[in-house]
Every structure is written in structure tokens, then in C-alpha cells.
Amino acid sequence: MTKPIVWTVAGSDSGGGAGVQADVKVMNLLGAHACSVVTALTAQNTIGTGRLEWVSPDMLSAQLDALKSDLPPQAVKLGMLGTVATVERIISFLKTQKVPFTICDPVLISSSGTFLLEAAAWPLLTQRLFPAVDLITPNIPEAEHLLGMKITTPSDIEAAARKARALGVKEILIKGGHGSHDMELSSDYWSNGKEHAWLSSPRLETRNSHGTGCFLSSAIATARALGYSPLESIVLAKAYLNQGLRQAPDLGNGFGPLAFNPWEKAKQDLPFVSQQAAAPGRRAKTPKI
């Protein structure tokens, strides 16, 4: 069978744990052919980022044009966009190119607190880009900044999802890894307006957590390109992320990368799924096409 083509539009991570490098590995390991559109070059390792240079708008457009003329995507993952010019060109691309599925992992702030998106680009994201994509995957701090609200409880997370939907977002997955309301579970909330689900897994105490957002969103994009349903795609991606955390090779002196291995479909990695945050839920079944 022909492999589905999945693009990543994101920044480069010279340390290999996040960004384009992580996306390409995840997409290929899960059965897609990965293509990349690089938005930024970074000099970084597990300790931090030393330098960042944005790719010129013309070079960005050249990459998009080269791929769409020969390798059209079944799914596109958007990561670090950074500048107004980049966001505008991505919006233009999505308006003119029919993409079956687009996911946006809004990279706004680095783990050290550095803003990675120009201030003028923030309203472009919420007003024009988000309504043009199929799914956004903010973590709690990102959702707070984007939606202008404090999120501390499960009911706040559900309210944030409703607010995002009111802004034109089709699907949203709010990631709970940064949440503090439950220190035993890491719980994510997904909603498309008609359906919703809480997906929870035991928290893993590890320093090897660099690139988790990239890992998850690129896995979701690949699963959708392979034909999985919206919720099945998130279950698959969450299980694969849990495997990556569990098998992390402990590299570097800072926040190390996850493990990039074929998906083992181990039961222990599957999340528990429930309709209510307080409900224990049932362990998800391994998604099958």
C-alpha cells in the first residue's frame, strides 16, 4: 500500500528531541512518509536554546510550493510558526490547498519562559488560523494565554474548550500535563462540540520530557492520515507518547528526549477514557482500522 504523506511545518531542533526532527521520526515510525517545511533554525540541546533564526518568508513559500506540487499531504501538523509573515503564509496556503486534516500545536512560550510567537501574530492565530485548521492541541499555559482565562480545575478546562469552540475551533485537545489539580494522573480533554472525552494516564516522574507536544501532535496527524477516527487517533497518540516517556533513553544533561521506537501497542500505555473528569473511566482498546 502507498504510505500516506504527512507534513510537519515547524522549527528545527538540533538536539533531535522536538520540532521537525521529532515529528519526522514519529510520522515515519507510525507508517507515514514525512515531509518537512522548516520555519526556524535553532541551536539547542537538552539544556536549552542558544540561538534562533527564522526562515525567510520566501524560503518558507518555496518549501510549501515544492511539496504541494509533488507530494500533497493527507495531513499537516503545524508547530512553531513564530512570525506574522509565517502565520499569514500558512493561512494563505490552507485557503488555497485542500488538506484533509490539519492539526496545530500552538508553540507560544519556551520552557524557560521565552515567547516564541510575535505579539502581533497572536490575534492571527485565534481569529484566522484556528478556524482554518481541524484540531488545536494547547497545553494549559498556552490555553490560558490564548483564551485569556485562568485554568486550575477540570471544569475550567471544559469551559476553556467551549470558549475555543465559540472562536471557531472545530476540535480541541487541552493537554493536562502542566495541570496541578491531580498529581497522580495526567489528564487531557478532547471535544469537537458533539463529542468529548477525558483521557488519563498515570504521571511518570521523569526529566526526559522534551518534545512531548511535538510527539503527540505528529502522532495524531499520522493516525488521522492512516484513517483512524478523531478519538481513536488521540488514543493511539497518547499511548505512543506514554511508550516514548516510559522507554526514554535518558540522554543529555537537561530535559532529555523521549524514545523514538516502533509502537509496541502495549496495554499499559493505553489511556483511560471517561466522559467526566472525576470518573475513573475504562482503559481504551488498541485502535484498529
Q: Which CATH superfamily is domain 5-283 in?
A: Ribokinase (3.40.1190.20)
For residue 88, how many other CB atoms are within 10 A of its CB? 16
Q: How far is CA 264 from CA 45, 120, 217, 244, in A?
A: 28, 43, 19, 10
d(CA 146, CA 144): 6
Q: Are strands 272-274 and 282-283 parallel, antiparallel or unpaired?
A: antiparallel
SS3 content of the chain, % helix, strand, coil (to 5): 35, 20, 40
> Each residue of 32-54: b (16+ CB within 10 Å) or e?
bbbbbbbbbbbebbbeebeebeb
End-to-end CA distance of the chain: 14
pTM of the model: 0.96
pLDDT band, very low/low/confident/very high, at 183 (cuts 50, 70, 90):
low
Domain map (residue ranges) of the chain? 5-283
pLDDT digits (tens, 9 = 90+) for 6-44: 999 999 999 999 999 999 999 999 999 999 999 999 999
pLDDT band, very low/low/confident/very high, at 289 (cuts 50, 70, 90):
confident
pLDDT digits (tens, 9 = 90+) for 83-127: 999 999 999 999 999 999 999 999 887 765 677 899 899 999 999
Specify burial of residue 155 (Cβ count, 10 A radius: 0-12, 13-18, 19+).
Answer: exposed
Look at residue 71 and tell me whether its pLDDT is greater than 60. Answer: yes
Which residue, 228, 285, 263, 255, is CA-closest to 103? 228
Q: What pLDDT score was predicted for residue 279?
A: 85
